[in-house]
Amino acid sequence: MNNNTNLIRKSRIGKTFMGIGLCLSVAFSGSMLLPAHPVHAASVSDSSVADRVIATGKQFLGVRYQFGAPSGRTDGFDCSSFTQYVFKQNGIDLPRSSREQSQVGTPVSKDQLQPGDLVFSDTNHDGVINHVSIYIGNGQLLHTYRVGIGVTVSDFAGSTWDHTFVTARRVISDNGQASGGQAAGSQASNEQSSNGQNAGSLDSNGQHSADASVTASSTSND
């Protein structure tokens, strides 16, 4: 009687261990079938030339406005020395003045602007381009103007630069070079008198004073 009881117990214990072993085997083999967690590698793709131009320009946010700032100087910019500098840092040579810059590259309509395009305005309403900005997307411009403001980001739509818009130019091509004209032109210190055109009257701060309607947001002629 005791022998039979012992045999039954041993049989039950054996079946129990077999069941546990089978469960572990199934669990282990199942885990082998689960997909491994993906390893996310950081993207190393190069940003576009326009992105780099904009990033370079934004490094100078808040830098003071200086009318007629020398080319290459970074402690003060006027609008065209700013654009000339940030494009130069990314392999694209531009002339020194806004009027000269408006003659290079490919013309672009206002409704076809892309980041990296140059936007030109005549804030004096005298038929002479006197300001250049960089379109950075989302309806915004990166530029510098007016003593006390300096390098900043401004909304384009409805602004002085929108109302006095003259042209826009695309100077970034697929290969990152100037896309039209001779971009490495004159290094004139400013645009005031090289072609005999009126640069407008300036007050002691280098701001235009002739047109009271735009004085608060106008640029100097650079």
Residues that are catalytic: 79, 131, 143
The C-alpha atoms of residue 41 and residue 189 are separated, in whole angstroms, by 47
The C-alpha atoms of residue 66 and residue 147 are separated, in whole angstroms, by 7
Q: Helices 79-88 & 49-58, crossing angle to 10 degrees?
A: 130
Contact 88, 174 (CB under 8 A): no
State the residue for tokens 């282990």: 28
| Distance between first and last Cα of the chain | 113
